Amino acid sequence: MPAGVDRAYDLPIMPRLLIVNCTHDSLLRRLIAEGSRPYDEQFTVSMACHLPAGQSLETFTLNVGDGEGLPQGVELGDFDGAWLSGSPLNVYRLEQPTVRAQIDLARAIWQAGVPAFGSCWGLQLMTAALGGTVHLNPNGREIGVARRIAPTEAGHQHALFAGKVAPFDALCSHEDEVATLPAGAELLASNAVSRVQAMAIRDGGRSFWGVQYHPEFDFSAVAAIIALRVQRHLDEGLALSEDEVATIVSDFRSLTQDATRKDLAWKYGLHADVLDPKVRSIEFGNWLRAEVLPHATASR
């Protein structure tokens, strides 16, 4: 177990987190039918790995993917942190429904000074909101396990990766990547597929941490995505037959049920960085300690 992962800490207050669900409910229902947890549940389960026994977080899910807005009387400033989820949308396709609205919301979260964390689309969304650019990854789609993510010099010093063994692997699914960082942002990690695997930006009391991979994913989430995109795997040469894709889906579902399967770990070259839920989601625990709790304490 990496140093620092099991460090206990007390929550002086119960932080309030906004979960920004950026995916259309129709797709989420299909993913759930294939065995995935809902996105907000993936996040809360991952966050729970980093809470002392008996302590919890207060969360509110905003289904911005379907155009939902905050209820009357609720403001962004009421929250101590915001998590921006994944999505199959493309930030450079402004004609796609909700893309403009989601960019505006990300910018509003930043301007409100609410500490934010973005996974995959969440990273791309805040990048666009703050003046950076995103494009289709010329190296192709990264799906399943992102390999050998290496922190930069700045990343080694940043709280995002405290307790993280480097280089590391991570669960993922994306075809776009950040092309240019927003002004003032730090590049924190890269791998052979995507130059921007992690970045952070701070401006006074405003902060954002983002990763191109999915710390909240488990293998059932990846299996569900693959199950819905069999033909894409074949078209892109990621598998040679439908049976091969079905085997991958079955194996990943088995790993969800039993992460100690040595045969599957050997077959896919997997280690604790993706098999252990607590190690896999260290970034969330670090964000909670470094950004959310200080904000919550200062705002009460």
Helix (H, G, I), strand (E, B) or coil at 16: strand
| Per-residue model confidence (pLDDT) at position 12 | 64
In this structure, is residue 254 part of a structural domain?
A: no
In this structure, is residue 257 part of a structural domain?
A: no
Task: Look up the domain containing 181 and give its range.
Answer: 16-218+276-299
State the Rg of the chain over Cα: 18
Into how many domains does the chain fold?
Answer: 1
Q: Which residue has the tokens 């990300």?
A: 106
Instruction: Provide φ and ψ at 193, rounded to 5°.
Output: -95, -40
Catalytic residue among 50, 120, 233, 295: 120
The two beta strands, 176-180 and 186-190, are unpaired
In this structure, is residue 84 part of a structural domain?
A: yes
Catalytic residue among 50, 158, 174, 216: 216
Catalytic residue among 24, 214, 233, 295: 214
| Residue 214 is among the residues annotated as catalytic for this protein | yes
What's the predicted TM-score (pTM) here? 0.94
CATH classification of the domain holding 133 = 3.40.50.880
pLDDT in tens, the chain (300 residues): 333 334 445 666 789 999 999 999 999 999 999 999 999 999 999 999 999 888 889 999 999 999 999 999 999 999 999 999 999 999 999 998 899 999 999 999 999 999 999 999 999 999 999 999 999 999 999 999 999 999 999 999 999 999 999 999 999 999 999 999 999 999 999 999 999 999 999 999 999 999 999 999 999 999 999 999 999 999 989 899 999 999 999 999 999 999 999 999 999 999 999 999 999 999 999 999 999 999 998 887
In this structure, is residue 113 part of a structural domain?
A: yes
Close Cβ partners of 262 (under 8 Å, ≥ 6 residues apart): none
In this structure, is residue 250 part of a structural domain?
A: no
The two beta strands, 168-174 and 198-203, are unpaired
Helix (H, G, I), strand (E, B) or coil at 15: coil
| Residue 295 is among the residues annotated as catalytic for this protein | no
In this structure, is residue 107 part of a structural domain?
A: yes
In this structure, is residue 242 part of a structural domain?
A: no
In this structure, is residue 182 part of a structural domain?
A: yes
